[in-house]
């Protein structure tokens, strides 16, 4: 087992927010790939060391935030004897929490929030239980969201439609339903949520497809069921987001985290859970 994982007993009061607590019992294997996910992700470190590197070679140590897709090529350089709270935010909530849309980059929370980032880490570390940490940070998120300006309701609706259709809705159809031009939807969505709507839809579709593969479903069937034109199309998207093939991506340890921490249906192929590769 790579990590100890704790999940909240109650869901967040904010739709689009999920949390999990992580702690390791040694050293996480270097180079661990973090599979892209259609959320903005906060990693709040309050013990030990976590250092990561994104596709551009930019490195971060300590607490950080990644845009939609986990930076798409994020990997752990060093993770040792740590405790951290991982928070997944829908991009609509993330806009309020962060004050802007996040593209697929990695940003230190010290750079983003200044002294507030250190205060949050201290508060998390001083609490005696994970449940207390979940509740405290959920309160913090709720206060921050209540004081922030929301995204345009049309943009929020477009994101919900993309998620509801698992990324298969055509962007021109979204624009038509809104009475907007495609350019207007592209600009508002990209500015406020961090990715163009078509890229966001591809990420949502990829996420559903890759979890079906991990569950043991046949790649050709997965391609047909998740809106790809054919198996080659699925293969190209998986390679784009992970640099891996459908055959190899199912063995990525980080995907097992979704089953344990985030409530994905428990597929039979994950009986090994988090065994180190």
Instruction: Name the fold adopted by 3-146.
Output: Jelly Rolls (2.60.120)
Question: 209: exposed, middle or buried (C-beta count within 10 Å: 0-12, 13-18, 19+)?
Answer: buried
Say which residue the tokens 């940003």 belong to. Answer: 107
Question: Which residues are 18's β-sheet partners?
Answer: 88
Please give the CATH superfamily to which domain 153-270 belongs: Homeodomain-like (1.10.10.60)
Q: Kindly give the confidence (pLDDT) of every residue in the chain, 277 residues in length, as a single tens digit, with 9 standing for 90 and above.
A: 468 889 999 999 999 999 999 987 666 666 677 788 899 989 999 988 787 777 677 777 889 888 887 655 566 656 777 889 999 999 999 998 987 767 667 888 998 899 999 999 999 999 999 999 999 999 999 999 999 988 999 999 999 999 999 999 999 999 999 999 999 999 999 999 989 999 999 999 999 999 999 888 999 999 999 999 999 999 999 988 888 888 888 888 777 778 778 876 544 333 333 333 3
CA distance 101 to 194: 4
Domain limits, the chain: 3-146, 153-270
**Amino acid 225: pLDDT:** 93
């Amino acid at each position: 087992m790579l990590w100890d994982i704790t999940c909240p007993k109650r869901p967040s009061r904010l739709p689009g927010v999920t949390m999990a607590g992580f702690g390791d019992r040694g050293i996480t294997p270097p180079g661990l790939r973090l599979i892209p996910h259609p959320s903005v992700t906060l990693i709040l470190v309050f013990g030990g060391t976590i250092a990561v590197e994104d596709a551009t070679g930019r490195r971060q140590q300590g607490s950080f935030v990644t845009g939609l897709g986990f930076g798409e090529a994020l990997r752990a350089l060093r993770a040792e004897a740590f405790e951290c709270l991982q928070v997944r935010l829908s991009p609509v909530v993330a806009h309020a929490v962060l004050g802007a849309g996040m593209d697929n980059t990695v940003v230190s929370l010290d750079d983003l929030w200044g002294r507030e980032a250190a205060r949050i880490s201290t508060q998390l570390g001083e609490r005696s239980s994970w449940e207390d940490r979940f509740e405290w940070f959920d309160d913090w998120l709720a206060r921050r969201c209540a004081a922030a300006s929301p995204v345009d309701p049309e943009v929020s609706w477009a994101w919900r439609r993309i998620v509801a259709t698992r990324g298969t809705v055509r962007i021109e159809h979204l624009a038509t339903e809104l009475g907007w031009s495609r350019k207007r939807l592209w600009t508002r969505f990209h500015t406020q949520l961090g990715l163009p709507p078509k890229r966001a839809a591809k990420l949502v579709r990829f996420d559903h497809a890759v979890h079906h593969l991990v569950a043991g479903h046949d790649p050709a069937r997965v391609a047909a069921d998740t809106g790809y034109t054919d198996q080659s199309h699925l293969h190209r998207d998986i390679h784009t987001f992970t640099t891996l093939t459908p055959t190899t991506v199912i063995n990525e340890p980080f995907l097992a985290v979704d089953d344990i921490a985030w409530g994905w249906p428990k597929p039979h192929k994950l009986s090994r859970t988090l065994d180190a590769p």
